[in-house]
């Protein structure tokens, strides 16, 4: 792992510490007595705050996860060079795309 990826991995980890804590709190709050789409969407639809929160969370998780997968593929599967970069970018962009689509799905009316 080069220095830039190492720092990005740590930076996104630090960003996600409060985000994960808040997400866990929402999970505990929201799952009491079961979840419904109406409850979820009533909280998120049209909310700039939740949009910013989950948008940042998705991007940080996509970067963090992609670098983590790259490290594991390198150390455990011996992947190197272009294939390793392709895996990292492919995984990261897939996560970011699916994640931002999910944010849009729960945010937009």
Binding mask 69-88 toward other proteins (x if CB under 8 A, else -) reads x--x----------------
Q: Which long-range contacts (CB under 8 A, 24 or more apart) does 69-74 make?
A: 70/1, 70/5, 71/1, 74/1
What share of residues in the chain are helix, strand, coil (percent, to 5)? 85, 0, 15
Q: Is 94 in the site for other proteins (CB under 8 A)?
A: yes
Q: Least distance in Å: CB of 81 to other proteins?
A: 21
Token pair for 35: 């979840």
Estimate to the nearest angstrom the gap between the alpha carbon of 11 and the chain centroid.
14
Q: Least distance in Å: CB of 72 to other proteins?
A: 6
Give contact residues for other proteins (rule: CB under 8 A): 10, 13-14, 16-17, 20-21, 23-24, 27-28, 31-32, 34-38, 40-41, 58, 61, 65, 68-69, 72, 91, 94-95, 98-99, 101-102, 104-106
């Amino acid at each position: 792992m080069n220095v830039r990826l190492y720092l990005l991995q740590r930076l996104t980890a630090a960003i996600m510490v409060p985000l994960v804590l808040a997400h866990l709190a929402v999970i505990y709050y929201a799952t009491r007595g079961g979840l419904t789409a109406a409850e979820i969407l009533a909280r998120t639809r049209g909310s700039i705050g939740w949009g910013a929160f989950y948008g940042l969370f998705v991007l940080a998780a996509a970067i963090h996860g992609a670098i983590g997968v790259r490290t594991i593929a390198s150390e455990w599967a011996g992947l190197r060079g272009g294939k390793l970069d392709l895996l990292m970018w492919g995984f990261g962009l897939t996560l970011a795309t699916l994640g931002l689509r999910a944010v849009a799905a729960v945010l937009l009316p």
